[in-house]
């Protein structure tokens, strides 16, 4: 279980959503005249998908399991390092992309998102003292959650997010302070060559990044523009196969063979368990 604990520690905070989290307020409406100047929906989606590349420093309040937690996010070069007030480190943001998406995959996602979700532009409100457009993303199938996002009008960064599953609010995030850098950010790490394939992935998901891991193995990241699922292929350890649910986070672990070598497959992401299981079951390597 040590490997799984490490992956959770570097990917997510502890999420124990036995109860519905309380909704975080601090959102105020703007006048109709401001709403009338809202950009086209396509323009907002382009900003949203580009936002993970922005350098930023922010404080957010995260609600789950009827508890509040304050997280400090510092993002440079398309990767985020998040620290809670108690010093625990995470590399996950809440309800928004963690990794900067290359341009080709971004264009693919722009075409696929209206197929995966029914997208509604609700209005213009104020979050963290910044004008923000409220968008709702209702899934067209059971492979993904429902998202409500408040996107900063200038940068596309999600200043507030709600994540829903089967009429239940399971994650809720509100930005209280944010500083955005004007300097353009570059991808901080080139993609590695894929060491395995994932077949039969749910419709609408695109592989957006491939990263070799310092401890061995490889991580491939898939996204539908909102949900992100990481698939790890690692040398065998002490982790047993099985599934685990922690709030919005689903984790599915399997053992596979590549010739005479036994390997671990671990899929985890903000998606329903059947989605993550589909990814873990679809890993194909030479020799298996």
* List of domains in the chain: 9-180 (2.50.20), 197-284 (3.30.200.100)
Q: Are 31 and 120 in contact (CB under 8 A)?
A: no
Pairing of strands 283-284, 197-198: antiparallel
Residue 77, both tokens: 């070069």
pLDDT band at 275 (very low <50, low <70, confident <90, very high): very high
Give the C-alpha separation, 288 to 277, whole Å.
Answer: 18
Render pLDDT for 118-127 as a digit per residue (tens, 0 to 9): 999 999 999 9
Closest-CA residue to 260 (of 278, 285, 227): 285
Strands 206-212 and 79-84: unpaired
- The whole-number pLDDT of residue 14 equals 30
pLDDT for the residue 68: 79
Q: In b/e form, how buried is each residue of 235-262, taking b as 16+ CB within 10 angstroms?
A: eeeebeeeeeebbbbbbbbbebebeeee
Enter the pTM of the model. Answer: 0.81
Q: What average pLDDT is seen over the chain?
A: 78
């Amino acid at each position: 279980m040590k490997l799984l604990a490490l992956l959770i520690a570097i990917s997510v905070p502890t999420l124990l959503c036995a109860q519905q989290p309380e909704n975080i307020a601090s959102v105020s409406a703007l006048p109709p005249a401001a709403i009338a100047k809202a950009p086209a929906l396509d323009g907002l989606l382009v900003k949203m998908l580009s936002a993970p590349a922005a350098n930023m420093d922010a404080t957010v309040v995260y609600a789950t399991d009827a508890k509040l937690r304050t997280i400090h996010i510092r993002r440079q070069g398309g990767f985020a390092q998040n620290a809670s007030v108690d010093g625990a480190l995470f590399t996950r943001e809440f309800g928004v992309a963690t990794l900067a998406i290359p341009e080709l995959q971004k264009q693919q996602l722009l075409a696929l998102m209206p197929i995966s979700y029914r997208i509604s532009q609700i209005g213009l409100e104020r979050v963290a003292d910044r004008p923000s457009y409220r968008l709702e993303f209702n899934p067209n199938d059971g492979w993904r959650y429902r998202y409500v996002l408040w996107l900063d009008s200038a940068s596309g960064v999600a200043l507030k997010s709600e994540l829903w599953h089967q009429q239940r609010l399971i994650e809720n995030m509100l930005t209280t302070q944010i500083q955005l850098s004007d300097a353009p950010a570059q991808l901080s790490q080139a993609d590695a060559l894929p060491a395995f394939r994932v077949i039969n992935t749910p419709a609408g998901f695109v592989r957006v990044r491939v990263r070799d891991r310092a401890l061995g193995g490889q991580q491939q990241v898939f996204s539908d523009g909102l949900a992100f699922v990481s698939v790890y292929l690692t040398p065998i350890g002490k982790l047993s196969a099985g599934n685990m649910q922690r709030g919005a986070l689903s984790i599915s672990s399997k053992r596979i063979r590549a010739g005479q070598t036994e390997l671990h497959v671990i899929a985890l992401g903000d998606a329903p368990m059947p989605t993550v299981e589909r990814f873990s079951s679809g890993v194909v390597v030479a020799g298996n």
